[in-house]
Amino acid sequence: MFVFTLAIIIMAALALLSGIAILFYSRSGNSTSSGREFSMAVFFVSALNFVSNSLVFGVVLGVNAMVGFY
């Protein structure tokens, strides 16, 4: 139970940090085209990371709830 809660907290912190990185790179990269492309790459990687993490934790928590320990 504590491990899953800690995993959700870590996932939320990583998503928040990636969102802050997206805002920072999009603000600093408006003057050059390479910065904008880099911010799009950061956005794509962080979105893919968030989707994969939410899928993994959703499956784990769903199985845990079905078993009855959650």
- pLDDT tens, residue order, the chain (70 aa): 677 677 777 777 777 777 777 677 666 655 555 666 666 777 777 777 777 777 777 777 777 766 765 4
Tell me how far CA of residue 56 lies from CA of 29, 45, 52, 65, in angstroms.
Answer: 32, 16, 6, 14
Tell me how far apart the alpha carbons of residues 34 and 7 are, in angstroms, rounded to a whole number: 34
**Spatial contact of 40 and 57, defined as CB atoms under 8 Å apart:** no
CA 23 remoteness from chain centre: 14
pLDDT at residue number 52: 76
Supply the pLDDT for residue 28.
63
